[in-house]
Amino acid sequence: MDIVTNKIVVEKYNFETTMEENQPFENKIELEVHEVEPVDGNVELMAKGKIFKITIPFLLVLENFRIDGRISRIIQLKDFFGQFSDLEAKDVEGLSNPLIDYIKRLTYDVTEIAFDEPGVSLDFNANHNG
C-alpha cells in the first residue's frame, strides 16, 4: 500500500505525578479515524486516494504517575477510495504504530527526566475489536 504521511503532531501530552486519592481511572488508548478533505477542495489531490486523520487519545495510570493526551497524523492512501474500516487489521496497525511509538518515546524520555533514573518503557498489545 502506497502511503503519503504528514508529520506526527503531539496535540496534547500531560504527565502528572500527583494524583488525587480514590479517584478512579481507567486505562485507555483508542484509535479515532476521520476522513479529511483539503480545505481548498483540491480535486486533483483527492483523485490520488482518500485522506484520513488518525488520532490516538490515551489515558494511562501507572504506579506513580499518569499520562494523558492526543497524538495525530494525516495520511493519504494512494489509489484507495474505500472506507477506513475496509482496511485489514495489519494495515491499520501499521498506520497507527508510529503514533503509539511516539507515546512510548515521550513517556520514556519524560519519566527519565522526571525521576532521574532510566525511563519507563510502555508495552502495548493490539486489541482488535471486530
User: What are the extents of the domains in the chain?
Assistant: 1-79+90-113
pLDDT of 73 higher than 80: yes
Mean pLDDT of the chain: 89
At 64 the pLDDT is 87
Mean pLDDT check: name the lowest of 28-32, 52-56, 124-128: 124-128
The arithmetic mean of pLDDT across residues 78-83, rounded, is: 93
Whole-angstrom distance, CA of residue 122 vs CA of residue 124:
7
* Cβ neighbourhood burial of 103 (10 Å; 0-12, 13-18, 19+): buried
pLDDT of 22 higher than 70: no
pLDDT of 116 higher than 90: yes
- C-beta of residue 9 within 8 angstroms of C-beta of residue 73: yes
pLDDT of 130 higher than 70: no
Q: What is the third-level CATH fold of 1-79+90-113?
A: Bacterial Protein-export protein SecB (3.10.420)
Q: Which DSSP string corresponds to 81-96?
A: -S-GGGS-HHHHHHHH
